[in-house]
């Protein structure tokens, strides 16, 4: 009878030990799954927050550039815009020196034809370009295989990268 009692005690102890080991494994597995689930949820939340921040940053950037575009369009209605057009024409005329230069302006800027022709010495064709929305001018000379862009549109567009880097709105 003592042998049976000892056997039962050993079996009970072994079963309890196995149950504890299995419970520990199950606990470790469930903790790992819970940790993974929490990490995934945190990662999704972080991604959603980043996406939201990027959207907000894009909205702010668009508003800033819309305001800048409006301000530039207003500037093109002022008297000092004429001297800017003269300066741009003179800059381009220094580069596109051969005959056959075509200068593109926005609709309404044909009124600066005399100043542009003067800068080029008269040998220039002036054409309205609907792609120029704000102002300034663009020119090309096929014989020289050169083009020059002094449009306010391209100048403003070139500032986007600088603005993103220097606006302090980086999402990291």
Share of the chain above pLDDT 70, in %: 98
Whether the predicted pLDDT of 112 surpasses 90:
yes
Distance CA 26, CA 11 (A): 22
Task: Annotate 38-59 with b (16+ C-beta within 10 A) or e (fewer).
Answer: eeeeeeeeeeeeeeeeeeeeee
- Residue 140: how many CB atoms within 10 A of its CB? 17
- Which residue is it, tokens 């800059």? 91
51 versus 5: the higher-pLDDT residue is 51
Mean pLDDT to the nearest integer, 10-31: 85
Mean pLDDT to the nearest integer, 16-20: 83
Distance CA 132, CA 152 (A): 8
Please, are residues 88 and 109 in contact by the beta-carbon 8 Å criterion?
A: no
Mean pLDDT to the nearest integer, 120-128: 91
As to burial, measured by CB atoms within 10 angstroms (0-12 exposed, 13-18 middle, 19+ buried), residue 103 is: buried
Q: Where are the domains of the chain?
A: 1-75, 79-161
Class of the domain covering 79-161: alpha beta
pLDDT digits (tens, 9 = 90+) for 71-105: 999 999 999 999 999 999 999 999 999 999 999 99
Longest dimension (CA), the chain: 125
Mean pLDDT to the nearest integer, 139-145: 95
Q: What is the pLDDT of residue 171?
A: 62
Please, are residues 106 and 128 in contact by the beta-carbon 8 Å criterion?
A: yes
- Model pTM score: 0.71
Residues 6+ apart with CB under 8 A from 74: none
Q: What is the pLDDT of residue 142?
A: 94
Mean pLDDT to the nearest integer, 115-128: 92
């Amino acid at each position: 009878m003592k042998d049976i009692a000892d056997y039962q005690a050993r079996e009970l102890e072994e079963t309890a030990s196995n149950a504890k080991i299995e419970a520990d494994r199950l606990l470790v597995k469930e903790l790992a799954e819970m940790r993974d689930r929490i990490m995934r949820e945190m990662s999704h939340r972080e991604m959603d927050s980043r996406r939201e921040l990027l959207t907000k940053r894009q909205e702010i950037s668009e508003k800033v550039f819309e305001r800048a575009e409006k301000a530039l369009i207003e500037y093109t209605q002022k008297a000092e815009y004429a001297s800017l057009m003269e300066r741009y024409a003179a800059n381009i005329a220094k580069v596109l020196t051969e005959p056959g230069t075509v200068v593109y302006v926005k609709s309404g800027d044909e009124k600066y034809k005399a100043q542009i022709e003067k800068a080029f010495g008269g040998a220039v064709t002036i054409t309205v370009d609907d792609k120029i929305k704000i102002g300034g001018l663009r020119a090309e000379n096929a014989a020289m295989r050169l083009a020059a862009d002094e449009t306010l549109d391209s100048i403003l567009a070139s500032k986007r990268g600088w603005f993103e880097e220097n606006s302090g709105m980086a999402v990291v």
